[in-house]
Structure 1
Amino acid sequence: MTIRNSAPYWVTALGLLLGCAAYGSETSYKLILTSEAGDHDSPLGHAMRLWEDLIEEKSNGRMQVEVFYQGELGGQQELFDQLIRGNVDMMITWPQTSYDERIGVNYIPYLVLDWEDAIAAFSPDGWVQELMAPIYEDIGLKYIGPFPEGFGGIATQNRYATSFEDAQGIKVRSQPVFPLPQTVNAMGFQAVPIDWAEVYTSLQTGVVDGDSSNVIYWDYEYFGDVLDYFVQSSHNFSSYSLLMSDRVWDEMDATDREIVTTAAREVIEKQFAEARAEDEHWIATAQEGGMEYIVPTTEEKAAWVERVRSEVWPLIEESLGTEIMDVVRENASVPGAKTSGASD
């Protein structure tokens, strides 16, 4: 049996064995799967365990997966760095744009405006996936597919805003990923890029007045004791990515790749079927728990869409290129089109 030794200095420090077959399906695997967010009982935690279970089941136990939850192996940028280097094998993550700003396709604001558009765009055979896969390949990652959550919003304490004017002076945490801080600024808020692990302390100490771009689950479940309002701005469609390091992917044969991707497709299909209901469940749960849920009027949302697209999309085009943005403009939802209810 041939065992691949992946970055022993890092693995030894963790006391883990990373191995993969050089000769395909005759060799055992020990793979690391992690994410920067989501504890054992979160929807993301459940998804990671499902991916683990399906891989082990489909390989008859020959492929073993070790799951690590938020914070157990490091912060958001650190984990993505380790994935690029091949020290982490798989992630379900909000990918960092530090290696290629074109990954920002995943974070283009007001790309879709309702669930129907989002499902069509982010489905495994959607136009967004067709754009993204080659970009990940260029930085050494296999893009297996999206993990949709829902539409992000702005969660705050003490006061809230549904317009550019009312947002002045409100500091909100933003994921340190282009173009999310720029989007939040264009909406009128003051964006403060902060890693996920530092958000709660930043809210407690007044570094920021709120959080942005997450679905309501994260803001209520993790910060519900310090946040009062959730505005369904829907400026971004929150979608993680299922990724695998090319370092392990390239050494797998067709049989083992099929095991990984078939298992992932089951996770993705399940999430697409359940994401909308899950988001609506947490909207109701947050309201029952005392968080006020605010949906901007059609006019307020249209004003945000117009301002953000006019200010941020040109910045995105400078980074992503005209060719990508031409595809985006051709496929993106049109302001004023129908919405799909509370979560859009």
Structure 2
Amino acid sequence: MTLHALKLTARILTITSALLLAGAAHAETLRLSTLKQPGSEGEAAALKFAKLVGDRTEGRIEIKVYPASQLGDWTEVYEQVMQGAVDMAMQPLATADDKRLAITWFPYAFTNYDTAKQSLSPGGAVFGIVSEAISSKGLTPLGVYGEGMGGAGFAKAVENPADPELKRNLKVRVWPGGTTHRVLLERFGFNTATLPWAELYTGMQTGVVDGQIGGTAGMALESFKDITKTWVQYNDHFEGDWFIVNSEKYASLPEADQKILLEAAQEVSAARFEQVKAADAKHLETMKAAGIEVVTFDDATLEKLATVARKDVWPQIADELGAETLGQLKSSLGIN
């Protein structure tokens, strides 16, 4: 090879290396925090999201997932995403500074997986309400990772749980600040008591309370399997974690990459909606195998319970959302 050719080859290699380094230097790294534990389905979903984004942006964006609250408690991370100190998160929404976000657990905003998926997707009522509420905080929602439909677990038998008119001598724990479900349970014929989460197991074990509400069958198996005698699948709310991103960071990305992030989050969310239905069913079967009485309802009964809740309970808890937000929810459901 001639000296000229060698010099030309070297120059080409130098230019190529410079271009590669420039491309690497311009790669965007986004940090995503989640409560999900390593090896869990939730962490796998976050990693899937990161891979989809990395592949579809051809490496322009790398999402680094931090599981198990490595970047801080989820309430702290929520603030950090608002401030831009953390780019993204997959976690619950902090409702302390905006009551509209109570919509995420508002009783019977939907009653089944199909209506939940529709309402919690872009263009859906709850997704729109959440988007409006958190946009002023500097946050943009991209999707929802579903944990499952909510229900109630009891340390004893429950008489005819499908009858909302029956008065029962059972006391059910609601979380501090859980006004929505306190009113719901009392309308369904139960007594209620406020108890911190840390005291709930002992409370059910000793009879301070007879049951608990606010979680899914899977969560009940994790924490209360040995003391749960009856599980009632009320489908009172849908438990989920939200993919959220700092709005300023999101807006700084090219429009094509913004679309990729949204579509990737929606793809993961849609897949989870299919999985979570099967996961809930599996958890109910696990309960039955463990000797727990499992009560489920057909669609007609669920609609009956929802109708009672919307007619009698919603007016009493309207302040939890505010008149405008409640009106949006009613409109989405065709309720006057």
What's the TM-score once normalised by structure 2's chain length?
0.75
Alpha-carbon distance between aligned partners in 1 of 2:207 and 2:251, rounded to the nearest angstrom: 46
1:235-314 matches, cutoff 5 A:
235-295=236-296, 304-305=305-306, 308-314=309-315
User: CA shift at 1:199, angstroms?
Assistant: 6.1
Alpha-carbon distance between aligned partners in 2 of 1:218 and 1:298, rounded to the nearest angstrom: 23
Question: Deviation digits for residues 91-124 of structure 1, max 9, x if unmatched?
Answer: 2222121121111222221122233433333333
SS of 2:37 mapped into structure 1: coil
1:73-152 matches, cutoff 5 A:
73-152=71-150
What amino acid is the match of 2:322?
Answer: G
Alpha-carbon distance between aligned partners in 2 of 1:74 and 1:227, rounded to the nearest angstrom: 32
1:58-73 matches, cutoff 5 A:
58-73=56-71
What amino acid is the match of 1:68?
Answer: Y
Question: Deviation digits for residues 140-172 of structure 1, max 9, x if unmatched?
Answer: 210112333432100232444626656544242
Question: Deviation digits for residues 199-226 of structure 1, max 9, x if unmatched?
Answer: 6677678776544222212211343234
Alpha-carbon distance between aligned partners in 2 of 1:203 and 1:68, rounded to the nearest angstrom: 34
Higher helix share: 2
Greater Cα shift, 320-329 or 183-192: 183-192
1:23-34 matches, cutoff 5 A:
27-34=26-33
User: CA shift at 1:304, angstroms?
Assistant: 4.8
Q: Which residue does the alignment assign to 1:190?
A: 192
User: CA shift at 1:50, angstroms?
Assistant: 1.2
Question: Deviation digits for residues 74-105 of structure 1, max 9, x if unmatched?
Answer: 44433333333333322222212112111122
Greater Cα shift, 177-186 or 109-118: 177-186
Contact 2:140 2:245 (C-alpha < 8 Å) held by counterparts: yes
Contact 1:184 1:191 (C-alpha < 8 Å) held by counterparts: no
Alpha-carbon distance between aligned partners in 2 of 1:256 and 1:299, rounded to the nearest angstrom: 43
Question: Deviation digits for residues 173-193 of structure 1, max 9, x if unmatched?
Answer: 538566345544554342536
Q: Which runs of 5+ in 1 are unaligned?
A: 1-23, 335-344
Alpha-carbon distance between aligned partners in 2 of 1:125 and 1:299, rounded to the nearest angstrom: 26
Alpha-carbon distance between aligned partners in 2 of 1:115 and 1:159, rounded to the nearest angstrom: 27
User: CA shift at 1:333, angstroms?
Assistant: 7.5
SS of 1:95 mapped into structure 2: coil
Q: Which residue does the alignment assign to 2:7?
A: none
Alpha-carbon distance between aligned partners in 2 of 1:203 and 1:41, rounded to the nearest angstrom: 30
Larger-gyration structure (1/2): 2
SS of 1:32 mapped into structure 2: strand
User: CA shift at 1:264, angstroms?
Assistant: 1.0
What amino acid is the match of 2:41?
Answer: P
Q: Which residue does the alignment assign to 1:7?
A: none
1:147-162 matches, cutoff 5 A:
147-160=145-158, 162=161
What amino acid is the match of 1:232?
Answer: Q
Contact 1:99 1:139 (C-alpha < 8 Å) held by counterparts: no
What amino acid is the match of 1:33?
Answer: L
Contact 1:111 1:333 (C-alpha < 8 Å) held by counterparts: no
Contact 1:152 1:232 (C-alpha < 8 Å) held by counterparts: yes
Tell me whether 1:43 sits opposite 2:41 in the alignment.
yes
What amino acid is the match of 1:253?
Answer: P
SS of 1:278 mapped into structure 2: helix
User: CA shift at 1:134, angstroms?
Assistant: 1.5
Alpha-carbon distance between aligned partners in 1 of 2:28 and 2:133, rounded to the nearest angstrom: 27
Alpha-carbon distance between aligned partners in 1 of 2:334 and 2:24, rounded to the nearest angstrom: 44
Alpha-carbon distance between aligned partners in 2 of 1:248 and 1:204, rounded to the nearest angstrom: 48
Contact 1:168 1:189 (C-alpha < 8 Å) held by counterparts: yes
How many residue pairs match? The answer is: 309
Alpha-carbon distance between aligned partners in 2 of 1:180 and 1:87, rounded to the nearest angstrom: 34
Shift in CA distance, 26/314, structure 1 to aligned 2, threshold 3 Å: farther
Contact 1:147 1:271 (C-alpha < 8 Å) held by counterparts: yes
Contact 1:25 1:255 (C-alpha < 8 Å) held by counterparts: no
Shift in CA distance, 77/328, structure 1 to aligned 2, threshold 3 Å: same
Alpha-carbon distance between aligned partners in 2 of 1:178 and 1:303, rounded to the nearest angstrom: 22
Contact 1:220 1:291 (C-alpha < 8 Å) held by counterparts: no
SS of 1:250 mapped into structure 2: helix
Shift in CA distance, 182/220, structure 1 to aligned 2, threshold 3 Å: same
Shift in CA distance, 283/173, structure 1 to aligned 2, threshold 3 Å: same
Shift in CA distance, 105/288, structure 1 to aligned 2, threshold 3 Å: same
SS of 1:230 mapped into structure 2: strand
SS of 1:214 mapped into structure 2: strand
Identity across aligned pairs (percent)? 23
What's the TM-score once normalised by structure 1's chain length?
0.73
Question: Deviation digits for residues 266-318 of structure 1, max 9, x if unmatched?
Answer: 21221233232222122222322333312268898677545533454224433
